Structure 1
Amino acid sequence: MKAPLKWLKKYVDIDVDVKSFSDAMTMSGTKVEGYEEVGEDISNVVIGKITSITPHPDADKLIITKIDTGSSEVQIVTGAKNVSIGDIIPVALHGSTLPGGIKIKKGKLRGEVSEGMLCSAKELGIDEKYVDIESRDGILLLRGEYTLGDDVRKALLLNDYIVEFELTSNRPDCQSIIGLAHEVSATLNKDVKLPESDFREIDKAIEYEVKVLDKDLCPRFIIREIKDIEIKPSPYFMQRCLIESGIRPINNIVDITNFVMLEYGQPLHAYDASKLSTKEFVIKRASDNDSFYTLDDLERKLDSEMLMITDGQKNIGIAGVMGGQNSDVSDTTTHIVLESANFNADNIRHTSKKLNLRTEASARFEKGIDLSRAEEAINRACHLIDYYGYGKVLSGKKDTLENEIEVKTVVVSIDRINKLLGEKLSPEKMSEILSKLKFKTEIQGNNLSIEVPEFRLDIDMEADIVEEIARLYGYNNILSQNIVGELTSGVKTEDRIFEDHIKDAMMSNGLTEVLTYSFVSPTSLEKIGENLSNAVKLINPLGEETSVMRTSLVPAMLEILSRNLSRKVDFFSGFEVGNIFSNPDAPVQKRAIVAGVYGKEEDFFTMKSRLEGVLDYIGIESRSYQPFSENELYHPMRCAQISSGDEQIGFIGEVHPLIAEKFDIKKRVYLFTLDFDIISGIRTKLKLYKQVPKFPAIKRDIALVVSEEIAVGSIENLIISKGNSLIEKVELFDIYMGDQVPKGKKSVAYGITYRALDRTLTDEEINLVQSKILTHLADELGAHLREI
């Protein structure tokens, strides 16, 4: 939050320089991110008045002005078109400096002496969006009472520091000048001078009523009625405070609501009473598919979760977010109803996100505001309206608060506080520190009973109190102590060791690890046919793209493949080991594995080869592959279920073209998925080493013609089972379907390695075994040797 130092000084005496102030605030827990000096580059610029204007004799677009600077009259040549005699303007005299290192010197323009320059807002470092339209394209025209010759920095309040505080989300009270003033008071040991909030009421009573239909979403709603409103510019000090806080001044009434919002952290809203249909405010939920035009002139689509302010007949504001175009305060407004309310923080946050509309008001409501602030803020606004004579406040108010605001009390152990701090503070010292922060304390034996100020919504427990004492006592004052206790080194769990083993296996087989977010878009899960009813949904997501927890690793892998393809990457192979989440009856978290690949040389069998290497590496000795057409993620004719014994451990295959299309993938991509928990339970943990064979191996190749329907895994299993223990390895090295084989058939070629452990095999032995294998292949699978 940005806070003008001059504004803070109105409520607390800051008698140190800005650097010391920033350091002290940071050390006490209210971190200052930085500060900037307003107008630091401006010198010798004064307030002047135009006394005469004459045309330039040699330039049609220039004029010669005479300027009264209080002590002298100077001549300045300018091309400005928005000035006239009598205007009060900022004048940069000879020898002056302006922001950006600009230096002004006396000189001549087309033969006429010019002793300085008339300044625009931009030339003084003032953003033009904050000035009147008549001053945006020319010289800054000053309205109000000014003394000629005064330094413009002093006259225009350009001699200030803007301090930017880095606030944490648990300190909504500090999103206000008063909240920051309390922190400054405690840090510098100064008293807080709260702003005046008394005001006069006329005899006529308020005529409006309030009805809240959903009190959980609106625990308090206050209105006051003000007549005889005169719309005009707000006081210059108020405008500067708003500008330096990043808010554009509009008119006195709107500026007061914004000024008080920044001052107290409580948003207010003013309604033009002449635009209201009834004399009743009804606060209720919107209807689905309603539309509403907000103050920014945009149509907003509403739903039944959004809370609306209505006048009994029409919507006039989105509660806690933004008012409506149909009830805004304008130059013709003479009668207003002023609102100060408290809304449910979660509801405002959700509404703001759904509408993609975050305002100064919603930013405060969504963090929580204490109930007492509503009355304090509306009283302060009424005081300012009355003090400046902008309107007359009718007597009475309408307030929906039914019960007294409860005072929160926390009881803490004195010994416990000292133990956590590592200090020996007396109860009196603790009470003194807490009193600076507006806590009321009572010593009760070895305990402190602490009454928490209503604006400190973040204080709930002992740890909160300890933190408050520590930061005000000073972390730098707490002596360092050596660690006491036994130090132990961390040990990886068995699952973590196995996970590292899997990653090593993947990388050893040409796969690169990727890491993706656990929070995903529901759309990405729907693309692969996931059931979202079982998904774990976030209560407060960052956005729709991260609103559910992933039930599968596949969508993220497909998005990575798609991204690489879109960037013309010819080949990619990756894997991820991560958590997936579901909530069928109760939340479930489990580990999963996915790998994906595409490339010119990649197909089902190269992917299977990688998988085989991984399974070998991690100790899954027995596995089989069965065609599987019921997994919608994969091509029905290019998918296999992976099993080990009776356990199904995953799937491998080509991604279904329709699924690939949803991810904008136009090439064939291949995946395999594995169940981490199952393979962890069935893996062989003990590695057995075999002696290097003493006798040579003999390799024979066979090419078989077999039906397209027969899986190559079935052929391999049959060859091994009939090999009389003499087969060491079976390797598929070719599959062919085409004109050289009958229709409906395919040619599969294997390299079979034979070896005996106790002798050198003879051709006769191998021929006998191979003949037996071919007989069984023919009888059981209808396979026969391919004729060349």
Structure 2
Amino acid sequence: MKVSLKWLRDYVDINKDVKTFADMMTMSGTKSEAIEFLGEEIENVVTGKIVSIEEHPDAEKLIVTQIDIGKEELLQIVTGAKNVSVGDYVPVALHGSKLPGGIKIKNGKLRGVASNGMLCSNEELNIDSKYIDEKSKDGILLLHEVETGKDIREVLLLNDAIVEFELTANRPDCQSMMGIAYEAAATLGIKANIPVPEVKAETDADVRISVDVEDECLCPRYMLREIRDIKICPSPYWMQRRLIEYGMRPINNIVDITNYVMIEYGQPLHAFDAEKIQSGKILVRRAHEGEKLTTLDAIQRTLDTDMLLITDGKQPIGIAGVMGGFNTEIDANTKNIVIESALFDADSIRLTSRRLGLRSEASSKYEKGIDILRPNLALDRACQLIEELGYGSVCSGIVDTMKTEFVPAIIQTTFSNINGLMGTELSISDITDILQSLNFECLVEGDNIKVTVPHYRLDMAIADDIVEEVARIYGYNNIESKPIYAEVTQARKSKDRQFEDILKSLAMNNGLTEVSTYSFVSPKGLEKSNITDMKYHNFLKLLNPLGEETSVMRTSLIPEMLDVMYTNTSRKNDEFAAFEYGNTFFMSEEDKLPEEAKAMVAAAYGKAEEFFIMKARLEGILKGLGLKEYEYVPEKTNRVFHPGRCANVVADGKNIAVIGEIHPAVLENYGIKKRIYLFEIFVDEVKSVSNTEIIYSQIPKYPTVLRDIALVVDKDVYVNEIEKVIRKNGKKLLEEVKLFDIFEGAQIGSDKKSVAYSLKFRAADRTLTDEEINPVIEKILLQLEIECNANLR
């Protein structure tokens, strides 16, 4: 919001310099972003009147002018401008003057003729060409009739400062000069002088156009006033200048007044040519699907049923809250107009503006919200200006569709609550004075206070909002810092976070580097990885993705881990071992939040890498989690892994992990030319069977007894099956089973293999004897023969 300080001073007596005022506004919650000093670089430039023009004796393209600058002697200036004539008023840069850009003007000669200064164009005065008339473009800036010799900054109203405020979306009231005036008054501790519009309405007549609103939810209030005998002409220069400083281009007196009032009150207005509404009726309705309207910018737009239209009962004449129609535009032949001042639903205007790709100053104000009383104030103000400036005769009749009386919001709180949250000891009068400076009405009952909110403060809803108002006007910098008076409890991580830390630490201790990938992924990742389980295809899709590559939330960490492997192989890293621990996301039932599940994946490649090294890493992690009994179950249906080189890890009947070598087809999909070994830990399942509590025991007093056995079994017998039989029959004396050799050869048969184990026996209270151990060994061998068809070699 750009605010002219000269304009703002019409409502508030600002007795501070611009920078101090801007800083004070920032500290009270209305942040000043920048300050621009208009005309700051212009010095010694005055107004002049061209008295005579003669041709240059030695240059066809130059002319010699005599300029009256309010002194006895005329000033001779040579110029090449073609748009000047005798009697024109122009800006004159005198000897020693300064212009924007550091330009200095001195007396001199042009082709032998003395030139005592320079006539200035709009560009030389740093005035944008879009704000000047056609006659002044590509030439000298032509002024209206004015006293000669006056400072050009005063004439063009350039002796001003523009403060740009950065406003938050919850303060639509500050999108107007009135809103800023109220804030400035409260900040400076003075009263704002906001005039109440008064309309004489000397023409005693009703509005000849009726209004019907089909959807009152989208249009709670629609007002019309008629002005007859309109005179279309340029608006006064002071009004044009204020529009320019705000950033709007002057058009004509009626359009400029509607824009001026919109800036002043924050209420968009629109003027229709009354004669072009031939039906004599305005109908506010939703658009029909595919309906078309050519807007004021001469572009035909296609509408849909979510958009609100202003129509004449048959055809559209404007897009509500966004832009009027070309078919009712005010032109030089306009004699009678009706001015619309309405309240439209903010969400509807925002949606319409976005879908059409059409953002106007009106839509930017509507989409942030406007209070229900503002349409009447702005409409009266526009009619008042038309009357005062003599542009037409305002009719006394008013059309107003508002059916319910406005009831202001009332918020109740206590003074102790306000002081308690702020950490202050302000008196009741201090607090009420602050609130009243913001135009809040206060009813005090002991410690309780009822605050009646002004109609334009749509952001006020709860008691904490009142506390914020008091705090910002009192000054956050005036609130003393105080220590917290509260019991401080020791912060502890949740059990889930503790388990996560343990799992990550174990992974790093077993040679894995942690990586982190994006949660937003491409749905094609599952296809590349050959993950066929439909559970993983239940994607949570993003409503507004950046692209296909980040359009869904991940359901598995495997695709991104393989991307990490590809990246490292493509960068010529000879070996790499990594893990990721993170969330996966799944769609849930309707109206419920998505389900999040923790997952962990590790992968590795390199010259020294093989399946058993990756298996050792997994077992190191499981050992750290306190898991002692688990088994590997061959997995042949998981298409992510190489067939015959994959196994599920099962503990207590639960599938806690899967490990294997990545399938060659998957590696080809990713462009990876190395063998990749990967395991995935199912976090929730492994957590349910783990035991991270460390139990200490005494160092054994008695020695172990070692026995080695070598068994001949069929090749298709898994080592895990043999170990299960050994442990089951080793009773309490068996402390450890360790495989140390596997042999295959013609000596034992082509369909057989030899497996050798080292068995460690120990008792906690005595030294074991052969008489105690031999029966256990015999039982183990017997059960191995029965269950695994294993014979002692």
Q: TM-score interval w.r.t. the shorter chain?
A: 0.7 to 0.9
Instruction: Give the distance between the partners of 1:197 and 1:379, measured in 2 at CA.
Output: 6
Deviation at 1:75, TM superposition (A): 2.6
Deviation at 1:358, TM superposition (A): 3.2
Which amino acid letter does the alignment assign opposite residue 427 of structure 1? Answer: I
Which amino acid letter does the alignment assign opposite residue 316 of structure 1? Answer: I
In structure 2, the partner of 1:244 is 245
SS in 2 for 1:232: coil
In structure 1, the partner of 2:688 is 681
Instruction: Give the distance between the partners of 1:455 and 1:78, measured in 2 at CA.
Output: 54
In structure 2, the partner of 1:15 is 15
Instruction: Give the distance between the partners of 2:114 and 2:122, measured in 1 at CA.
Output: 24
Provide the aligned C-alpha RMSD in A: 5.0
In structure 1, the partner of 2:192 is 192
SS in 2 for 1:497: helix
Residues 514 and 576 of structure 1 are in contact (CA less than 8 Å); yes or no, is this contact kept in structure 2?
A: no
Residues 534 and 584 of structure 1 are in contact (CA less than 8 Å); yes or no, is this contact kept in structure 2?
A: no
Residues 635 and 657 of structure 1 are in contact (CA less than 8 Å); yes or no, is this contact kept in structure 2?
A: no
In structure 2, the partner of 1:357 is 358
In structure 2, the partner of 1:232 is 233
Correspondence 1:421 to 2:436: no
Which amino acid letter does the alignment assign opposite residue 214 of structure 1? Answer: D
Instruction: Give the distance between the partners of 2:224 and 2:636, measured in 1 at CA.
Output: 68
Instruction: Give the distance between the partners of 1:65 and 1:244, measured in 2 at CA.
Output: 32
In structure 2, the partner of 1:75 is 76
In structure 2, the partner of 1:587 is 593
Deviation at 1:145, TM superposition (A): 3.3
Instruction: Give the distance between the partners of 1:456 and 1:149, measured in 2 at CA.
Output: 47
Instruction: Give the distance between the partners of 2:304 and 2:609, measured in 1 at CA.
Output: 49
Select which of 504, 509, 512 maps to 1:509. 512
Residues 538 and 587 of structure 2 are in contact (CA less than 8 Å); yes or no, is this contact kept in structure 1?
A: no
SS in 2 for 1:438: coil
Residues 82 and 134 of structure 1 are in contact (CA less than 8 Å); yes or no, is this contact kept in structure 2?
A: yes
Deviation at 1:106, TM superposition (A): 1.6
Correspondence 1:347 to 2:348: yes
Residues 620 and 683 of structure 1 are in contact (CA less than 8 Å); yes or no, is this contact kept in structure 2?
A: yes
Residues 258 and 382 of structure 2 are in contact (CA less than 8 Å); yes or no, is this contact kept in structure 1?
A: yes
Residues 36 and 162 of structure 2 are in contact (CA less than 8 Å); yes or no, is this contact kept in structure 1?
A: yes
Deviation at 1:405, TM superposition (A): 0.5
Call closer, same or farther: CA 1:438–1:52 in 2, change over 3 Å. same
SS in 1 for 2:264: helix
Residues 38 and 161 of structure 1 are in contact (CA less than 8 Å); yes or no, is this contact kept in structure 2?
A: yes
Deviation at 1:404, TM superposition (A): 0.5
In structure 1, the partner of 2:387 is 386
Query: 5+ unaligned residues in a row in structure 1: which ranges?
Result: 707-713, 732-749, 760-764, 779-788
Which amino acid letter does the alignment assign opposite residue 399 of structure 1? Answer: D
In structure 2, the partner of 1:784 is none
SS in 2 for 1:203: coil
In structure 2, the partner of 1:317 is 318
The superposition leaves residues 631-688 of structure 1 with CA deviations (integer Å, 9 ceiling, x where unpaired) of: 9xx7999998966445456889989999x99xxx888999987655444434442468
Residues 225 and 338 of structure 1 are in contact (CA less than 8 Å); yes or no, is this contact kept in structure 2?
A: yes
Call closer, same or farther: CA 1:260–1:602 in 2, change over 3 Å. farther
Deviation at 1:469, TM superposition (A): 2.1
Instruction: Give the distance between the partners of 2:129 and 2:636, measured in 1 at CA.
Output: 68
Instruction: Give the distance between the partners of 1:51 and 1:466, measured in 2 at CA.
Output: 66
1:282-293 matches, within 5 Å, as 282-293=283-294
Instruction: Give the distance between the partners of 1:220 and 1:304, measured in 2 at CA.
Output: 20
The superposition leaves residues 374-399 of structure 1 with CA deviations (integer Å, 9 ceiling, x where unpaired) of: 11111111111222222332331211
SS in 1 for 2:471: helix
1:471-482 matches, within 5 Å, as 471-482=472-483
Instruction: Give the distance between the partners of 1:638 and 1:109, measured in 2 at CA.
Output: 97
Which amino acid letter does the alignment assign opposite residue 582 of structure 2? Answer: V
Instruction: Give the distance between the partners of 2:121 and 2:220, measured in 1 at CA.
Output: 48
Deviation at 1:428, TM superposition (A): 2.9
The superposition leaves residues 752-788 of structure 1 with CA deviations (integer Å, 9 ceiling, x where unpaired) of: 99655579xxxxx9xxx9xx99x9899xxxxxxxxxx
Residues 695 and 755 of structure 1 are in contact (CA less than 8 Å); yes or no, is this contact kept in structure 2?
A: no
TM-score by structure 1 length? 0.77
Deviation at 1:408, TM superposition (A): 1.4
Call closer, same or farther: CA 1:387–1:589 in 2, change over 3 Å. farther
The superposition leaves residues 335-358 of structure 1 with CA deviations (integer Å, 9 ceiling, x where unpaired) of: 332211112222223333333433
Deviation at 1:60, TM superposition (A): 4.2
In structure 1, the partner of 2:34 is 34
The superposition leaves residues 236-257 of structure 1 with CA deviations (integer Å, 9 ceiling, x where unpaired) of: 2222212211222222222222
In structure 2, the partner of 1:49 is 49
In structure 1, the partner of 2:282 is 281
In structure 2, the partner of 1:552 is 554
Which amino acid letter does the alignment assign opposite residue 43 of structure 1? Answer: E
Which amino acid letter does the alignment assign opposite residue 590 of structure 1? Answer: E
Deviation at 1:587, TM superposition (A): 2.3
In structure 2, the partner of 1:163 is 163
Residues 633 and 650 of structure 2 are in contact (CA less than 8 Å); yes or no, is this contact kept in structure 1?
A: no
Residues 264 and 377 of structure 1 are in contact (CA less than 8 Å); yes or no, is this contact kept in structure 2?
A: yes
Residues 522 and 545 of structure 1 are in contact (CA less than 8 Å); yes or no, is this contact kept in structure 2?
A: no
Residues 89 and 145 of structure 2 are in contact (CA less than 8 Å); yes or no, is this contact kept in structure 1?
A: no
In structure 1, the partner of 2:339 is 338
Instruction: Give the distance between the partners of 2:526 and 2:330, measured in 1 at CA.
Output: 47
Instruction: Give the distance between the partners of 1:478 and 1:331, measured in 2 at CA.
Output: 59
In structure 2, the partner of 1:743 is none
Correspondence 1:430 to 2:437: no
SS in 2 for 1:464: helix
The superposition leaves residues 247-299 of structure 1 with CA deviations (integer Å, 9 ceiling, x where unpaired) of: 22222222222211111111112223344353222222233444444334445
SS in 2 for 1:454: coil
Correspondence 1:137 to 2:138: yes
Instruction: Give the distance between the partners of 2:101 and 2:516, measured in 1 at CA.
Output: 50
Name the % identity: 42
Instruction: Give the distance between the partners of 1:199 and 1:526, measured in 2 at CA.
Output: 72
Instruction: Give the distance between the partners of 1:61 and 1:600, measured in 2 at CA.
Output: 82
SS in 1 for 2:64: strand
Which amino acid letter does the alignment assign opposite residue 283 of structure 2? Answer: V
Deviation at 1:7, TM superposition (A): 0.8
Instruction: Give the distance between the partners of 2:685 and 2:70, measured in 1 at CA.
Output: 90
In structure 1, the partner of 2:774 is none
Deviation at 1:162, TM superposition (A): 0.7
- Higher mean C-alpha deviation, range 131-140 or range 681-690: 681-690
Query: 5+ unaligned residues in a row in structure 2: which ranges?
Result: 728-735, 743-752, 763-776
In structure 2, the partner of 1:711 is none
SS in 1 for 2:270: strand
Residues 650 and 657 of structure 2 are in contact (CA less than 8 Å); yes or no, is this contact kept in structure 1?
A: no
The superposition leaves residues 300-344 of structure 1 with CA deviations (integer Å, 9 ceiling, x where unpaired) of: 443332222222222333322233333333444333322111122
Which amino acid letter does the alignment assign opposite residue 516 of structure 2? Answer: E
Deviation at 1:607, TM superposition (A): 13
Deviation at 1:359, TM superposition (A): 2.8
Larger Rg: 2
Which amino acid letter does the alignment assign opposite residue 251 of structure 2? Answer: I
